[in-house]
Structure formats: structure tokens, C-alpha cells
């Protein structure tokens, strides 16, 4: 039997949160002290009760943390910041608890061989994490580690707040309709409604991505594009229109310094080595070789793609020099010229309800899983939708929240996060997993439903892939169920893998229907979309490699006496891999939340590392059929259901029959 636990968002009283959190933490520490002091310990007497303590804390904090990302407010921010030190200290106290470490080590010595593989993985991970938290350190070094952890949690939160505030602060009001030339109708309507909401005339554009993307890609007014570009790439920096107001420069330097010190405290040369202790990649040299090798394979094609764009702008539009705010604009013109296709032409074919219905049908065909909407679930915003995840017999297997539209006070980007973890309860019932799926797409406007670009559809497939990894797990121990315990450079496998169905005509037909006429996506339009799939793919690959090499080398080569040298490191990477000129005032690193506020520090390479796995995994479907049931169930049983209970390479080999090669990635990316 499955037990579904959903949060009551409307009943959360923010003023009570710090006190309740403090009580929970005190209780947990008291119980853990009692559990670890027993003379004889076992999985049942120690790990199982610990899992329950961890789960109660997670179910309390997860909704608060989620609200901080999707419904930020001054009151919530204050509460969140008050709670962070408590959580950080608690985590460090657990990680440095020697009696607890010794007790788990005793289980390793006495009971390990009789445990199931998933339980063994829990034990191995726990012992590894104790050492990473400094359990072996002297008292004063333990205290320093604890101080560093607390400060890092505060700094990462400050970084994210600065990005959010800088994004929300800047707007531009347009009252001359001539300046809107080139903009899609839906973007104009959204800007008009944004202005009306603030009782302004004309149209209001913001740095929320749908608004920014529309202008930078389609606005004929170069001055408007330049103004938007400058504001966007200087967010949270000492450059641009809001210079210094939310500057993250000092925050970034301090984060890097503390990460390096933490890594050295527990015996690593740098934070990159510390990061790899929990990943598939074993050595820094392996990561750097992987990234540099990919860059080398892509560089010449990337140069040719940019030369083609430059020549096109010169020949067709008499543009002698491409400025940074021209790249997206003329790229769209070139895409249209070469393939007669654009994201805006595709948008009417992807209304929200049809996309979601088709998306769920694909899941059902592949894995035998159904998603069914419920309207009686408490959510944090009127736009949020909730779905039960049902197995082939109609039994509830999990729950999924969809929050798809951009809005003020909501963190940018798209992500999946856990709400509840699957685990076996004491009464032998199974606690069903629950996930959050969050995007920042354009919402409905007056008289028109939410309609998505194909790029947004691909993003939705990606994030649902993450969710399925969490929701379809059959592992009964929360420490390694779902996405828990999965190495960061393997966690992108299910998400990138699932994107492929957004490029298959049979699958995409399930998601595409013109929102006005009801007509399906025309075959010739799909073919043009497919032909354009790898448009500027080398340029895009090099951009991702730039981010990855910058992140990894910055953490790998950090020297305390010289400081972060963030811009210097970024410039060195750009010199090596970038084919598109970048202006000096561009401070993208100041809003690079993935590595300064998220979980990708010294791990951004994971996107490309996992893409090798995902491309090779999908190639089996190319051989057997896009909806081949046996292949779909094999992926379900060997990858999605196993969560973090086994090493990802072992799971991949069980599915694919061999280790991965980079060939499929290059082929799918159109890179020769």
C-alpha cells in the first residue's frame, strides 16, 4: 500500500517556522545521541530510525525552501535566512558526530554482507560523507568547518537573492508602438498586461526570461535590444544600469575562498577534488580532458557557424560588425532564411493542455505510468497544477506539482526538486514520492491560453525526465531512492534522455495541435524543425563548455594568496573555446546561480558528461523503435527505478549492454 503525504501550503505560518525547526532539530539530535550510544547497533535499530528523523525534517523544510524559490517575499526571506544557520549547524553536527560514525562503521563490519545492495550503498555513502564533513578532524578544525558551512549557506542564499532583486528591479516602459516592430504578438500582449498591472501606459518589459528572450531575439529596434542585453548580462554586478546595488562580486570571492578552505580542511588539494569525491568522474584530469577534447572537436565547426552568421548579416542586412545584442536577433533571421522555421511560427501548435496531455501519453506508452490531474490539492499559487502518478493498476505511485509560468518573486530558470522521498514505513506501507516541476514560460494572456515554443517543450520534457527519476523509484530507503544518492554527473541522464522524444514526429504529434484551428503540426513544418535542430549546435556546445571549463578550472586552480581571479579565469577559458565575441561589461558570472547558489559547483561539466550517457542510451531506442515497450521497460527497471541504489555506470551497462561512447552525442549534435 502507498501512502501519499502532501504539504498544506495555505496553512504554513511563517512566524512559527524558526521555532518549529529548532524543536525538530533538538529532538533529532537527542534521539540520534540515544541511538548511537547503544552497545549493539544494527540497520533496524539505527539507520531505520535515522531515516525517519531525516524524513520528518525534510517534509517540514522542503515546502519552506520551495516557497523561497517560487513565492519570495520580505517576510519569507527573513525567516529563511534565520533558519539557514540552524540547518547548516545541524548538518555539520551530524556529519561530525563520532559516536554515530563509529556506530555505522560497526554495522559495516558486522551486518554489511547480509544487507541488500541498496542498504549497502546507504552505509557506504554515509561513511564517505562523514569523512567529507570532517569527522576525523581535531576539535578546533571541526569548529572551523562548521563555521565555514554556515557562512557558505548564507552567502549562497545572498547570491540568489541579489540575482532575484536585480532581475526584479529593472524594467523598461515603451510608449511608442513603433519600437515594438518585429516582436511577436504574444510578447506585445504580455508586455501590455504587465504595464496595465502597474497602471502604466504602453508596454512594460522585464528581465524575466520570456520578456528578455522576445526582445533580444525579435525586436527590430537595435537600441532596445542593446538596453535589454546590457541590463541582463550585468545583473548583480558593478556594471550596467543598477551597478553596485546588488553586486555579487565580493560574495563570489568569499564563496570560492571558503570552499577552498573547506576542501583543504578535510584533505583535498582544492574544491574540485572535494566535489569529485561524490561523482562518477574520478580525477580532475579526467574532467578537464573530457571538456577540452569536446571543445577541440567543436571549435572549427563553431568558427564556421559564426562566420556564416557574420557573412549573412553583412550580405543581407549590411551589418558590418555584429554586436553581442545582435547575435540572437540575426541568428533567428538566419534560421528563418535557411530553414523557413522559427520558434514563434511553432508556438501556436503547442498550447499548454495539449502539450501536457501528449507528454503524459508518451510516459504511459514507455513506462505504463499514468498522470491524472486533481483539483482538490492545496498549492502556493492559482497557476499551479497537481497530478497523481498512477501505476498500471491505477494505484497511486507518487505526486507531481506543475508550476510553469514566469512571475515576479519567482526564481528564474527551470528545475525539478523533491518534495517527499519514497521509503518503506514501519507499518510496511510505502511512502509515495512527490516532486516539484518548475519553469518560467510565458503564461496565458487575455483571450489566449499559454502557448509554448518548441524550445520550451524541450525544457518541459527535460524537467519531467528528472521528475520521473524521482517518482518512479522502487527503492525503499530514502537515502538512495529517487534522485537521492545519485552522483551529480549522472543525475542529468534521465532528463537529457527524455528530451529526445520532443524531436520525434510520432511523439511530438501527441503534443502538437494548433490552439485556434485544431490542426496537427504539418509534416513539412516538422521536417524544417528537424532540419534546424542542429543549427549553430557547435556554437551552443562551445558555450556550455565555456561555462563548464570556467566553473571547474576556477575551483581546481584556486590560489588563496591570489584570490578568486574570477574574470581572469573566465577570460582565459573564453580565449581557448569561445568563437562569439563577448563585451568587457558582460558579467554573466555574477548571476551564474548554478555554481554559486545551486548544486553545480565544480560540477557544471555534469550536463555534458551525462549527455554522453543520455545520447548513447537513446540510440538503443533508435535501433529498436521510439516506443518499443521492451526497451522502455528496460530503461524504467534498470535506470529510473534504481535511483541512487547502485553505481550509475553499472546501471547504464545493465541497460545498454556496454559502456557509453561519445559518438552518439556528436552524431545527435550534428558535430562532425
Question: Taking the CB of residue 33, how many other CB atoms lie within 10 A of it?
Answer: 12
Residue 427 pLDDT class (50, 70, 90 cuts): confident
Question: Left (φ > 0), alpha (ψ -120 to 50) or beta: where does 360 sit?
Answer: alpha
Is there a domain that residue 151 lies in?
Answer: no
Residue 416 pLDDT class (50, 70, 90 cuts): very high
Distances 390 to 5, 434, 476, 478, 629 between C-alpha atoms, Å: 15, 12, 18, 20, 18
Which of 531, 548, 563 delimits the end of a domain? 531
Nearest CA to 216 out of 208, 206, 226 is that of: 226
Is there a domain that residue 642 lies in?
Answer: no
Pair (445, 459) in one structural domain: yes
Cβ neighbours of residue 453 under 8 Å, at least 6 residues apart? 343, 344, 346, 347, 350
Is there a domain that residue 636 lies in?
Answer: no
Q: Domain limits at 386?
A: 348-531
Pair (305, 398) in one structural domain: no
What total of structural domains would you count in the chain?
4
Residue 536 pLDDT class (50, 70, 90 cuts): very high
Length of the chain: 672
Residue 1, pLDDT above cutoff 90: no
Nearest CA to 475 out of 432, 418, 435 is that of: 432
**Residue pLDDT, tens place only, 163-191:** 999 999 999 999 999 999 999 999 999 99
Which of 531, 558, 573 delimits the end of a domain? 531
Mean of pLDDT over the chain? 97
Residue 101, pLDDT above cutoff 80: yes
Pair (389, 409) in one structural domain: yes
Nearest CA to 438 out of 406, 465, 468 is that of: 406
Residue 672, pLDDT above cutoff 90: no
**Residue pLDDT, tens place only, 212-226:** 999 999 999 999 999
This model's pTM is above 0.85: yes
Pair (527, 540) in one structural domain: no
Residue 34 pLDDT class (50, 70, 90 cuts): very high
**Residue pLDDT, tens place only, 77-98:** 999 999 999 999 999 999 999 9
State residue 671's pLDDT score.
87
Pair (527, 418) in one structural domain: yes
**In a 10 Å sphere around its CB, with 0-12 CB exposed, 13-18 middle and 19+ buried, how is residue 336 labelled?**
middle
Place of cell 515497450: 629
Pair (56, 127) in one structural domain: yes
State residue 447's pLDDT score.
84
Nearest CA to 366 out of 646, 616, 634 is that of: 634
State residue 175's pLDDT score.
98
Is there a domain that residue 284 lies in?
Answer: yes
Pair (12, 38) in one structural domain: yes
Pair (444, 505) in one structural domain: yes
**Helix and strand tally (H, E) in the chain?**
26, 10
Quick check: 160 and 248 in contact, CB under 8 A? Answer: no
Question: Taking the CB of residue 401, how many other CB atoms lie within 10 A of it?
Answer: 24
Residue 339, pLDDT above cutoff 90: yes
State residue 411's pLDDT score.
95
Pair (383, 511) in one structural domain: yes
Active site residue ranges: 463
Pair (40, 84) in one structural domain: yes
Amino acid at each position: 500500500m502507498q501512502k501519499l503525504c502532501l504539504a498544506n501550503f495555505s496553512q504554513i505560518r511563517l512566524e512559527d517556522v524558526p521555532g518549529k525547526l529548532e524543536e525538530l532539530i533538538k529532538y533529532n539530535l537527542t534521539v540520534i545521541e540515544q541511538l548511537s550510544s547503544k552497545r549493539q547497533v544494527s540497520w533496524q535499530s539505527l539507520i531505520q530510525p535515522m531515516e525517519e528523523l531525516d524524513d520528518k525534517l525534510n517534509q517540514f523544510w522542503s515546502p519552506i525552501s520551495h516557497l523561497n524559490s517560487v513565492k519570495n517575499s520580505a517576510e519569507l526571506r527573513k525567516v529563511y535566512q534565520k533558519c539557514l544557520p540552524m540547518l547548516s549547524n545541524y548538518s555539520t553536527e551530524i556529519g561530525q558526530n563520532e559516536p554515530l560514525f563509529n556506530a555505522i562503521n560497526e554495522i559495516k563490519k558486522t551486518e554489511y554482507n547480509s544487507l541488500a545492495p541498496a542498504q549497502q550503498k546507504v552505509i557506504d555513502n554515509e561513511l564517505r560523507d562523514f569523512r567529507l564533513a570532517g569527522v576525523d578532524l581535531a576539535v578546533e578544525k571541526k569548529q572551523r568547518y562548521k563555521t565555514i558551512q554556515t557562512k557558505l549557506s548564507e552567502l549562497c542564499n545572498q547570491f540568489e537573492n541579489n540575482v532575484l532583486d536585480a532581475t526584479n528591479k529593472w524594467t523598461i516602459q515603451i510608449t511608442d508602438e513603433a519600437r515594438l516592430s518585429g516582436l511577436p504578438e504574444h510578447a506585445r500582449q504580455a508586455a501590455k498586461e504587465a504595464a496595465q498591472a502597474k497602471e502604466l501606459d504602453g508596454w512594460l518589459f522585464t528581465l524575466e526570461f520570456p520578456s528578455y528572450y522576445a526582445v533580444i531575439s525579435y525586436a527590430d529596434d537595435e537600441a532596445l535590444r542593446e538596453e535589454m542585453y546590457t541590463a541582463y548580462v550585468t545583473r548583480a554586478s558593478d556594471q550596467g544600469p543598477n551597478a553596485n546595488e546588488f553586486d555579487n562580486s565580493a560574495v563570489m570571492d568569499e564563496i570560492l575562498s571558503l570552499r577552498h578552505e573547506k576542501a583543504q580542511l578535510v584533505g583535498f588539494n582544492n574544491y574540485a577534488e572535494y566535489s569529485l569525491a561524490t561523482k562518477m568522474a574520478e580525477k580532475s584530469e579526467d574532467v578537464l580532458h573530457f571538456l577540452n577534447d569536446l571543445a577541440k572537436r567543436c571549435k572549427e565547426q563553431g568558427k564556421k557557424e559564426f562566420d556564416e552568421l557574420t557573412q549573412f548579416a553583412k550580405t543581407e542586412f549590411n551589418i558590418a560588425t555584429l554586436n553581442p545584442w545582435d547575435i540572437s536577433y540575426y541568428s533567428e533571421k538566419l534560421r528563418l532564411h535557411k530553414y523557413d522555421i522559427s520558434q514563434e511560427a511553432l508556438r501556436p501548435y503547442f498550447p499548454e493542455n495539449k502539450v501536457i496531455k501528449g507528454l503524459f501519453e508518451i510516459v504511459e506508452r514507455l513506462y505504463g505510468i499514468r498522470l491524472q490531474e486533481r483539483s482538490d490539492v492545496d498549492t502556493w499559487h492559482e497557476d499551479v497544477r497537481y497530478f497523481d502518478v498512477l501505476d498500471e493498476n491505477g494505484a497511486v505511485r507518487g505526486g507531481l506539482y506543475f508550476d510553469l509560468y514566469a512571475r515576479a518573486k519567482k526564481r528564474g530558470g527551470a528545475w525539478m526538486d523533491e518534495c517527499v522521498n519514497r521509503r518503506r514505513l514501519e507499518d510496511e506501507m510505502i511512502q509515495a514520492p512527490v516532486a516539484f516541476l518548475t519553469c518560467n514560460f510565458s503564461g496565458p494572456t487575455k483571450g489566449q491560453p499559454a502557448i509554448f515554443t518548441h524550445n520550451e517543450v524541450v525544457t518541459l520534457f527535460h524537467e519531467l525526465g528528472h521528475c520521473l527519476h524521482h517518482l518512479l523509484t522502487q527503492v525503499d530507503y530514502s537515502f538512495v531512492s529517487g534522485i537521492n544518492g545519485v552522483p551529480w554527473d549522472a543525475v542529468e541522464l534521465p532528463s537529457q534522455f527524455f528530451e529526445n522524444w520532443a524531436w520525434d514526429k510520432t511523439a511530438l504529434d501527441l503534443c502538437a495541435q494548433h490552439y485556434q484551428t485544431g490542426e496537427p503540426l504539418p509534416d513539412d513544418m516538422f521536417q524544417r524543425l528537424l532540419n534546424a535542430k542542429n543549427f549553430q549546435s557547435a556554437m551552443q556546445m562551445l558555450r556550455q563548455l565555456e561555462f563548464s571549463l570556467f566553473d571547474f578550472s576556477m575551483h581546481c586552480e584556486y590560489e588563496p594568496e591570489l584570490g578568486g581571479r574570477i574574470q581572469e579565469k573566465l577570460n582565459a577559458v573564453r580565449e581557448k573555446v569561445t568563437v562569439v565575441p563577448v563585451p568587457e561589461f558582460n558579467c554573466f558570472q555574477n548571476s551564474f546561480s548554478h555554481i554559486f547558489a545551486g548544486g553545480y559547483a565544480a560540477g557544471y561539466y555534469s550536463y555534458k558528461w551525462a549527455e554522453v550517457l543520455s545520447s548513447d542510451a537513446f540510440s538503443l531506442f533508435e535501433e529498436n523503435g521510439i516506443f518499443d515497450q521492451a526497451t522502455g521497460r528496460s530503461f524504467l527497471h534498470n535506470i529510473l527505478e534504481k535511483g541512487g541504489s547502485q553505481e550509475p555506470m553499472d546501471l547504464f551497462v545493465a541497460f545498454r549492454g556496454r559502456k557509453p561512447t561519445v559518438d552518439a552525442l556528436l552524431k545527435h549534435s550534428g558535430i562532425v
